Amino acid sequence: MANGKVNTKIKDMNIECTDSKRKKLYDFLDKRLVLYFYPKDMTPGCTTESIEFNESLSKIKKLKANVVGVSRDKINSHEKFIDKHGFKFPLIADTAEKLCRSLDVIKEKSLYGRKYMGVDRSTFIIDKTGKILHSWRGVKVKGHVEEVLAKLKELK
């Protein structure tokens, strides 16, 4: 189990994705993969982060990488999210939290004093063999996509 640590390999697994041709996680590894986890479709921070990844998609593709977002939302929620904002990359519906748990992004969170288990905003760069090259935990949305671009250039 990778647990999201750098230099460990992620496990290939079946996925439910808005790109119906992609049935397994490794289907995205024809290039490096920027895999980002976010708490919920249509929420302010998650929308901003996804829009910024979308706006930088051509730069990311020039750096020979794919982008895929992951949350615990259902596929129909993802499809509405994509349609509303015109995202040009797919989203994975991890309703059973298999992918989230394999990369250890489910954490205890607190909202108005109430504790609950939620997705810790995280991003991973994964190479074509499935090895994690870099990871960010507890991501702050502002400036994050620029950090990802800088790291992709550095890893080239």
Question: Of 15, 25, 29, 46, which one is the catalytic site residue?
Answer: 46
* DSSP single-letter state for residue 141: S
For 152, the enclosing helix (H) or strand (E) is helix 144-155
Whole-Å CA distances, 109 to 73, 117, 118, 124: 17, 6, 6, 21
Is 17 among the catalytic positions?
no
Q: Break the chain down into helix, strand, coil percent, rounded to 5.
A: 30, 30, 40
Here the tokens at position 45 are 């921070």
Dist CA 13 CA 92 (whole Å): 12
Indicate which residues carry an active-site annotation: 46
